[in-house]
Structure 1
């Protein structure tokens, strides 16, 4: 994996249009000053020409050249300001259409002012709607960059099995199977499952970094789930759930198997989701309790449905290599780690143009390199490495996650339990 790191909100637009307009206004206001400077230099040039001895001590050509440069800067500054205003309108149009789509998906009434604003932006400049199309096309392309090289390190062609494999994954994602609309619930019943505590402990502190949070997933034990219970000074309880991904097991009692993957992806209740809910309940979580989640792969799908349908307050969800993308509301802080060359990530369909979750939610990605059939781009260790790079970056867009994680340091006690889940 490359060390190139990108952190953004997850949608097409990663810059606030109003912030762009502030910059544009400043550029437009600055432009006349360059024109004034050019005029002042030309006046000085004229005055010096009237004093022949002075021309022997001043480089008149350089002085004239500085006036020409000031005039060029005036034009460049004015043009940059106008173009920045244009891009602000394009970005706002994308946001407004995404807002319209979200309201329609939820069956909510669309304010007339929203339609009016969209019409005004389109009418403001013929280039706005055209550039919107370009922006969306670029986003759709970039979200799958690297996937076509995932299994072709020598550039020899994708092969009779592997090529169709990632093509099918990308196609399924593109058709929207991996995008979970607001309020989506799982259908059916997974049947009985059991969760058995196998290890308890008392961590000294909550995770202090994204990498540490993902690192607490019980990767090297037989447990698939871990739950930490935080008792706060006022007696309330908060919980942190850690969940593995798919387990390479042929045992019929393994709930985190490929069958559960298929169930979840096609919105049927899986044994692994039932086990996840059972583990939270066994740890003492009750409806309305705040839950933070760190999950990989299939565990991330279960986390998405905890957000979408459970009665828990899933205030923080940190996922790695999720096959789905949940449309969450402002009350959910999502931190999604996604490798563009991870075939499992492609099943999510690249997310929604408007992003998801609170305005502080982020998607963290790293460009990959051609990979073999071992799927290392999807492995948890690689995602932990990406998380560590994000932690080390000091990026202010992670401050909201840091603040939420820091709230748990106020706990008076922490209890940790690892659970083995089985189908009954």
Structure 2
């Protein structure tokens, strides 16, 4: 397990530009004080030299040496302040470029204020545009760290049965690099998915909601053949809230043509078409009692994360929390939706999302949690080990142990569910009709 966990708000932007400017302002205030201190030491040194016996009691040579050190601190502080302000401008430019791209996807014209600010940042310093390019290039490299090694080793394990899926993954990876996996705001699926039947196969009564991200990932359906679990929380005010847990592509789909969580659904979802697995997910929520406008929290892996993205952006339900592992897409959510994405840079399926947008999405407390899922791959490893749920559960454990203050937003949403007067958990098996 790698402990090199990176937790950001998403993409190339890891620090708020306004916060950086606050640091730059503080450094700008501090720098002159070092200059004042150096001047005071010089005056003190001159006074001591004027006193005949002073040099016998005070090391004036060392005192003068401190002037050089304070002068150096003044210069370091001044340069640090200027560079921090420069980086704030670079981060802001990246954010505004992302905003411009989002508006283009929505076919909405940018405001004059946005265009003027971009032009102002570009003209402020010739290094700003150059460093923007450097920043994005570094992000592009980091977001697929370790992927090449996994791919090379995977080639030794490609079977005739896996060959078609390998080709599909390679083709989709190219689309991901082109930005196909980045969904626009309020993305909705087109067409109609294959008809399905959804059958409840197990009902239990949990004692409460999950108390950690890792525990939530361990709550996925356990009954044989079940792909979906829905927990219904009956609240004291008479409302109902729901928590959805959904698995990704099922291995048996290679031989079971009635399995809705298959490669056909993968391709449909990735190209913006309604899939049988999406239909099954909506039907399971409705079977559990969810109605239009009801609050839903989602935990999803792989293909199911694509369903989650479209549920959050274009469905009848109020998706307030979305936690995904190894998602092939990057949703664009509203400011009141909490998104926690677990992403392994060496996960081929995750690479289909194209690394996400350079700026974050969702609420201010939303997180993108990345690491190399398999830092030391070997020939005997399973090809998609970094994509497996077990690997992402390890990452969730590292996140839970990180004490990142932004996790409090997720904990607050989980604690709200502890007020439920009853909890009913149902697992469902979905089949194509």
- TM-score, normalised on structure 1? 0.94
SS in 1 for 2:424: strand
* 1:276 positional shift: 0.3
Unmatched runs of 5 consecutive residues or more in structure 1 = none
Judge conservation of contact 1:295–1:318 (CA < 8 Å) in 2.
yes
- Give the superposition deviation at 1:109: 4.1
The reply on whether 1:323 has 2:332 as its aligned counterpart is: no
Cα RMSD (Å) of the superposition? Answer: 2.1
Over 3 Å counting, the alpha-carbon distance change for 1:58 and 1:148 in structure 2 is same
How far apart are residue 164 of structure 1 and its match? 7.7
In 2, the alpha carbon distance for the partners of 1:288 and 1:83 equals 48
Residues 1:272 and 2:281 are matched in the alignment: no
Q: Which deviates more from structure 2 when the two are superposed, residues 130-139 or residues 47-56?
A: 47-56
- Which segment is superposed worse, 10-19 or 101-110? 101-110
Residues paired across the two proteins, number:
421
Equivalent residue, structure 2, for 1:80: 80
Measure the CA separation in 1 of the matches of 2:428 and 2:414: 23
1:57-107 deviation digits (Å, cap 9, x = unpaired): 222221111111001101110111111111111111111221222223223
| Mapped partners of 1:198, 1:154: distance in 2 | 36
Superposed displacement of residue 153, structure 1: 6.0
Superposition deviation, residue 41 in structure 1: 1.1
Q: Does 1:383 align with 2:392?
A: yes
| Residues 251 and 104 (structure 1), Cα distance of their counterparts in 2 relative to 1, 3 Å cut | same
2:110 corresponds to? 110
SS at match of 1:185: coil
Offset of residue 123 of structure 1:
1.4
Deviation at 1:220, TM superposition (A): 6.0
2:403 corresponds to 1:419: no
For the 8 Å contact 2:11–2:357, the answer to whether it is kept is yes
Q: Which residue of structure 1 aligns with residue 256 of structure 2? A: 251
Aligned-residue offset at 1:378: 0.6
Flag the 1:155–1:167 CA change in 2: closer, same or farther, 3 A.
closer
Distance 1:417 1:163, change over 3 A: closer
> Larger deviation: 4-13 or 181-190?
181-190
1:211-290 matched pairs, under 5 angstroms = 211-219=214-222, 221-249=224-252, 250-290=255-295
1:154–1:174 distance in 2 versus 1, CA, 3 Å: closer
The runs of 5 or more residues in structure 2 that have no matched partner are: none
1:169 CA displacement: 4.8
2:366 pairs with one of 361, 365, 371: 361
CA distance in 2, matches of 1:220, 1:142: 38
SS at match of 1:396: coil
Structure 1 window deviating more from structure 2 (187-196 vs 269-278): it is 187-196
Residue range with higher mean Cα deviation, 137-146 or 281-290: 137-146
Shift of 1:165: 8.0
Comparing 65-74 with 395-404, greater Cα deviation is found at 395-404
2:417 pairs, out of 408, 418, 421, with 408
Equivalent position of 2:307 in the other structure: 302
Deviation at 1:4, TM superposition (A): 0.9
What CA distance in whole angstroms lies between the structure 1 residues aligned with 2:237 and 2:113?
44
CA contact (8 A) 1:316 1:333 kept: yes
The answer to whether the 8 Å contact 2:202/2:223 transfers is: no
Give distance in 1, aligned partners of 2:327 and 2:64: 61
Indicate the residue corresponding to 1:350 in structure 2.
355
Question: Would the aligned equivalents of 1:181 and 1:327 in 2 still touch at CA under 8 Å?
Answer: yes
1:373 shift after superposition: 3.9
Moved over 3 A (4+): 151-156, 161-170
CA distance in 2, matches of 1:174, 1:382: 24
Task: Give distance in 2, aligned partners of 1:190 and 1:166.
Answer: 22
Could you tell me which of 178, 181, 190 is aligned with 1:187? 190
Residues 148 and 66 of structure 1, relative CA distance in 2, 3 Å threshold: same
- Structure 1 residues 333-380: Cα deviation after superposition (integer angstroms, max 9, x where no partner): 110000000111011111011222122211011124143343111110
| TM-score (structure 2 length as normaliser) | 0.93
